[in-house]
Amino acid sequence: MGGSYPYPPGLGQEWLVQHLFRPLPGPLALLAVFGCVALFALWVWGMMRLSSGGRRRVTAICTFLAGLFYALAFFLPPGNVATGSAEIGGQRAKFTADITWDEIPDPNPPAPPAEGEEPPEEPSWREPRPIERNLTGRLELTELANEPTAQDGRDFLTISGKQNADGTWALESLGPDGPTPLVATSDGGYAVTTAAGTGRLQMRVQPAANIVKGYEAPLANALNILGGFAIFLGLINLSLVHGRTLFGAKPGWINSLAFFFGLLGMIIFGLAALKYKDLDPTAPQPFVAAAYAVMFDGLLKPLQSTTFALLGFFIVSAAYRAFRVRTTEAALMTIVAFIVMLGQVPLGQMLTAWIPLDSPWAVLRIETVTNWLLVTPNTAASRGILFGAAAGSFALSLRVWLSLERGAYFGKEF
């Protein structure tokens, strides 16, 4: 099974993977880690020596470059399509193709584990295999055929191929008699033979200019590690607040104790229970797994869902105390709210269930009215709001990207 990457690797990515970003044996890896720490410390030291203006400039430049990455990934042509046409018997046939980068399969794949043998644990890193650029396309012959015969009512010819080292393409057509190579003609086209006769195929391949696309996955990995470590920020903050209350024996210290009970219990049992992966739910369980089940199913789940369920009481109370119909707008809103409330539940739907579904009056059935309210006026009004919000967020993002934003946060001294 070959790999499949629809986009080209990023600029220099193959070189980096081959020479720099690859696993090292134990002591060397440790050395590399220390090297990274030292470089990072040096970088921080350098950053700290910058003046206030310098810090601002560095931040603005890095912010811009960060945004540029995703902007380029989106705007540069990814080189994953080809289009063209063929002239066969004086008629034109449309050609479209997908282009992917595929790993060349391993000629000697590792043998699968024998029956009954434990499969070895998969390593988290695998040597990337060389890749090649492949094309799969179809030539639409519907316009040529008098009567559409093939599936979907369309007649087409499948064409596949791969790119040669010199940039040209070796194509072949997949007819009923097996693959037939297409002969390249002197004008850059290909001679193509179909049931309707012979002709010439001309195609244009989108340039694979997306030099950053291949870095999206490594960046996502890095950001997930970055985001993962950010969680300890909340942990430290909460622990500081509750630690002060608890150890200072301030009022409410028992609540802080409860906080630590929940926090430490969950972390200790949760992490300890990780090694029990495939537990049979009907067999006796190890203590840590049982304790984790009590913490997760007995505390976290009910506490969180009940906290949210309190909203049920609040909305009843709010509807009763605060929902006042005094203006035309409020009246309109109330009527629609009542219809929608009725239309979504069986009891409300029963009110108009006596109108037969096939009668012209079926449009007055409450679920039909509810659906119309949701699909027409609600959709249009929500879309109006959406347009405003989208334009606003687009403008704000541009300001952030170009470091033009001056808010409470961005205006702070660097």
- Under the binding rule (CB under 8 A), the answer on residue 75 touching another protein is yes
CB 240 within 8 A of CB 108: no
The 283-302 contact track toward another protein, x by CB under 8 A, reads xxxxx--x--xxxxxxxxxx
364 binds another protein (CB under 8 A): no
Quote the CA–CA distance of 402 and 396 in Å, as a whole number. 10
Segment 198 to 257, residues that bind another protein, using CB under 8 A: 213, 216-236, 238, 242, 252, 254-256
Is the Cβ of residue 58 or residue 145 nearer to another protein in the bound state?
Answer: 58
Among 107, 130, 281, 360, binds another protein (CB under 8 A): 281
Please report, as residue ranges, which positions from 115 to 134 form the binding site for another protein (by CB under 8 A).
Answer: 121-126
Least distance CB 170 / another protein (angstroms): 24
* Cβ-count burial 86-107 (b if 16+ within 10 Å, e if not): bebeeeebebebebbbbeeeee
DSSP state of 215: G
For residue 194, the minimal CB distance to another protein (Å) is 25
Residue 143 contacts another protein per CB under 8 A: no
Contact 265, 241 (CB under 8 A): no
360 part of the interface to another protein, by CB under 8 A? no
Q: Looking only at residues 154 through 193 of this chain, which bind another protein when binding is defined by CB under 8 A? A: none
- For position 408 contacting another protein by CB under 8 A, the verdict is no
| Residue 82 backbone dihedrals phi, psi, to 5 degrees | -135, 145
> What CA–CA distance (Å, rounded) separates 410 from 414?
9
What stretches of 89-196 adopt beta strand conformation (E)? 91-103, 131-140, 156-163, 169-175, 178-181, 183-184, 190-194
Q: Can residue 359 be called a binding residue for another protein (CB under 8 A)?
A: no
Scanning 134-142, 144-152, 169-177, 343-351 for contacts with another protein by CB under 8 A, the matching segment is 343-351
Whole-angstrom distance, CA of residue 104 vs CA of residue 313: 61
* CB-facing half-sphere around the CA of 298: CA atoms within 13 A: 10
Stretch that binds another protein, among 66-74, 88-96, 143-151, 176-184 (CB under 8 A): 66-74
140 near another protein, judged by CB under 8 A: no
